[in-house]
Amino acid sequence: MENLHEILQKYWGYKQFRPLQEEIIRSVLAGNETLALLPTGGGKSICFQVPAMALEGMCLVISPLVALMKDQVENLQKRGISATAIYAGLSHKEIGFLLDECIKGNFKFLYVSPERLKTELFRERAKQMNISLLAIDEAHCISQWGYDFRPPYLEIAQFRTLVPQAKIIALTASATPEVCQDIQQKLSFGLMRRTFQKSFARANLSYACLLEENKEQRLLKILHNVQGTAVVYVRNRKRTQEIAKFLQKNKISADFYHAGLNLTQRNYKQEAWIKDKTRVIVATNAFGMGIDKPDVRIVVHLDLPESLEAYYQEAGRAGRDEKKAYAIILYQPTDIENLTKNIAQKYPSDEDCRRVYQSLANYCKVPLQAGEMESYPFDLAEFQQNFQLKGTMPYYALKRLEAEGFIQLNEAFYRSSKVKFAIDYETLYEFQIKHPKAEPIIRLLQRLYGGGMFSQFVSIQESQLAKFLDKTSREIVQMLERLQELQVIEYEKQNEKPQVTFLTPRYESKYLPLSPERNQLLKQKDEARAEAMKNYVLNTTRCRTQLILDYFGEISYKACGICDTCLTKKRNNEPLEYDFEALRIQIKDFLQDNPLNITDLANLFPLSQESEFIQVIRSMVETNELVYLKNGKIAVST
C-alpha cells in the first residue's frame, strides 16, 4: 500500500487533502462501511479514487449518469490511470470484451450504471474480477425518500454478496438525515459503519431570494453590478435561447446550453465558458454535472428548482475558489403557485402510464417477454408525434415507469465509432490477398491504429479515413459494414442519441404491475420538498444558510451575515443571532408545571422570534429535554 500523500501528489498533483478527505480514505482502508456527505465541489471522487489506488485489485464504481461516467473515466485516463465504463448503447460484444479485460486485471476502475448489476452476464463476470473497492456515487439515488430515486440502486446490497471481499464507500453531495439512514439500510451497512459529513455551510456564498416583476431587467442589473463568470438556470430549452439572446442584445457575452445539443455544440459551449470566452451560460439543469470551474461568481435561478437538494447543488457551483460569490433566486408569485401545480403533472394516472408503455414497446419494436436489458435509440419528440401523445404527460409517464423500475432513460451522449479485428493476423493477410479491393482500408486501419486492433476496440473517425483514401464518409461506412458482414472486423458506429433501456422483459400493458400506493407516497414526499422550497424562498427573517443547514439536519445558531435576510437585519440594526440558551430556559419555565400544545406555547413569544422558537423546540425534543404527550401537548421530560 503506497503512502496516501504520495498517491495524491503523484496522480493529482496535490500536496494536501481537503478537510475530511484523508479521514474518509483511512476509514475505507480500515474496512469500515463508509458514508461520505461532501457538498458540491467538496472533492468526493478523491475519497474513493485514492484508496482504490492504494489497494490491490479494481474499483467498481456505480454511477447514475453516462456523462458523469465518461467525464471521470477521461480524467483518470489523463492522469495515466486505466479506467473504462460500461453503459447503455454499447454492443454485447464490446461489453463482453471490456468485462474480460477487467477479469484480466487490465483496468483499475470500472464505471457501470446500477442497471448493469442485475444482468446475469455482469454478475457472473464480476465474481471472477478482483474487486477490492465498491464505490457508490450519488448514493441518495438508492433512497425512495431522496429527490432522484433510481430503483436499480436497490440491487447493490444483493450484489455485495457476490464480492464479499470488496470494501465499500457511498458518496453524495446532498441528503437529509432520513435519506442518510435509508442509504445505510438499503446498502446493508453493519456495525462497522462510519458517516462523515462536511458542513453544508458555505462561508463565502451569499444567498438571496428577490421578488421581481421584471426578471430579465433585474438579471441585467445583477450582471452589471457583479463582475465575473455566471450561470443562469431556467426550466426549459426554449427559454435558454431567449435569455441568452436578451443578454447578447444588451452587450453581455452569453450562450445557451441544454440536453438537446449535440456533442460538438456542448463541448464548444462548455469550453468557451470554462476559458472565459463566454461570460454567462444560460442553461437547464443538464448543465454543471462533472464541470469544475472554481471561479464562478454568480448563479441565478430565473425558475424555481423543485427541491432544496437540487437548488443547493446548482447554487453550490458558485464560489468554489472560496472567494465571495452569489446565489440568487428571482421569483414571482406565480412561480410559487406553479411549484405545486408541477407536482400534480409529474404523477400521471395508471391508465396513462400503461398507454405510454404500450406505445414505447411499439416504438422500439419489443416483442412480449423480450427486451430485458436491451437499449434502443429514443427520440421523445418523434415518439410523441408517432403515437399522438401530447403535452408533458408522456414524459412524466416515462419518468414514472423509470421510477418503478421498468425502463431507464439515458441522456444523449456521444460514443465514437469503434473497430476491432475479428480474425488473427495470418487470416487477415490471406483475406487481403483474396480481396484486393479491401486492402487499402485494411492497411490504413493497421497503419493508423496499430496491432492493438487485434485485441481491443479502438476509436476511429470515418471522416479521417475518408480523407486518407479520397472517399466520402458514407463510402467508408459502407466499406466497414461490408468488412463486418464478411466477419473480418467488428464495427460499432458512432452514436449520440438518447437511449431507452428495458430493465425487465416486456409486459403486456394491462398486466404491468404498477404501484399506485407507492406513487402516492412519492407524490407526498415531492409535495413536502416543494413546501420546503417555498418556505426558503418566502422567508424574510431567518438566515438562509441556517435554513439550508436545518433542512439537511445540521443545526447552527450562527448566522452567515452575508445573505439577504442577514444584510436586512444589519441595515435595521437588528441582532443577527438569537440567544438559544435564554429561549431554552424560557420554554422550560413555561412548561414546568403546565404542558401546552405547540400553538399556545408559540403565542407566548413574539412573532419575530417564531423561526428561532421552532428551532429551539426541535432541538430540545431531539435531545429529550421535551416530550410530546399522547394528547399532543409538549411537556418537560421527567
Mean pLDDT along residues 208-214: 95
Mean pLDDT along residues 565-578: 83
The second-level CATH assignment, the architecture, of 205-331 is: 3-Layer(aba) Sandwich (3.40)
For the ranges 86-95, 275-284, 485-494, 573-582, the one whose mean pLDDT is highest: 275-284
Please indicate whether the domains covering 4-197 and 205-331 agree at the CATH topology level.
yes
Provide the pLDDT for residue 290: 63
Q: How distant, in Å, are the alpha carbons of 42, 47, 548 from that of 199?
A: 10, 16, 11
CATH class of 341-414+497-523: mainly alpha
Q: Is the pLDDT of residue 1 over 60?
A: no
* pLDDT band for position 10 (cuts 50, 70, 90): very high
> Which tops the pLDDT comparison, 577 or 366?
366
* pLDDT band for position 453 (cuts 50, 70, 90): confident
Provide the pLDDT for residue 226: 94
d(CA 518, CA 426): 60
The answer to whether 163 touches 134, Cβ cutoff 8 Å, is yes
Q: Is the pLDDT of residue 579 over 80?
A: no
* pLDDT band for position 297 (cuts 50, 70, 90): very high
Q: Is the pLDDT of residue 417 over 70?
A: yes
Domain boundaries, the chain: 4-197, 205-331, 341-414+497-523, 417-492, 578-638
Mean pLDDT along residues 233-253: 94
Q: Is the pLDDT of residue 5 over 70?
A: yes
286-295, 297-306, 356-365, 416-425: least confident range = 286-295
d(CA 218, CA 144): 38
The answer to whether 317 touches 40, Cβ cutoff 8 Å, is yes
Mean pLDDT along residues 433-454: 87
137-151, 195-209, 406-420, 478-492: least confident range = 406-420
pTM for the model stands at 0.75
Q: Please give the sequence-ordered ranges of beta strands (E in DSSP) within 77-228, or none if there are none.
A: 83-86, 109-112, 131-136, 167-172, 193-197, 205-211
Q: Tell me the CATH number of domain 4-197, given options 3.40.50.300, 3.40.50.2300, 2.40.40.20, 3.40.50.2000.
A: 3.40.50.300
Identity of residue 127: K
For cell 437588528, name the residue: 574
Mean pLDDT along residues 188-215: 93
* pLDDT band for position 631 (cuts 50, 70, 90): confident
Provide the pLDDT for residue 411: 63
d(CA 496, CA 21): 36
Q: Is the pLDDT of residue 301 over 90?
A: yes
Q: Is residue 257 within a helix (H) or strand (E), and if so which, with residue range?
A: strand 254-257
Provide the pLDDT for residue 101: 93
Q: How distant, in Å, are the alpha carbons of 100, 107, 449 from that of 490?
A: 16, 22, 15
Provide the pLDDT for residue 247: 97
Provide the pLDDT for residue 123: 92
Question: Rg of the Cα trace of the chain?
Answer: 27
Mean pLDDT along residues 533-544: 91
Q: Is residue 62 within a helix (H) or strand (E), and if so which, with residue range?
A: strand 58-62
Provide the pLDDT for residue 413: 52
45-59, 65-79, 245-259, 569-583: least confident range = 569-583
The answer to whether 613 touches 602, Cβ cutoff 8 Å, is yes
Per-residue model confidence as pLDDT tens digits over 456-513: 788 888 888 998 999 898 899 999 999 999 999 988 877 666 789 899 999 999 999 9
Q: What is the dihedral of CA 351, 355, 358, 364, to 10 degrees?
A: -140
Per-residue model confidence as pLDDT tens digits over 158-186: 999 999 999 999 999 888 888 999 999 99
Q: How distant, in Å, are the alpha carbons of 160, 450, 465, 478, 483 from that of 444?
A: 45, 9, 8, 16, 14
Please, what is the average pLDDT of the chain? 89
Give percent of the chain above pLDDT 70.
96
Provide the pLDDT for residue 535: 92
Give me the DSSP letters along 589-620.
Answer: HHHSS--B-HHHHHTTS-GGGHHHHHHHHHHH
Chain Cα centroid distance, residue 230: 21
Residue 280: helix, strand or coil by DSSP?
A: strand
Mean pLDDT along residues 7-35: 94
Mean pLDDT along residues 194-222: 94
Answer yes or no: CATH 1.10.10.10 is held by domain 578-638: yes
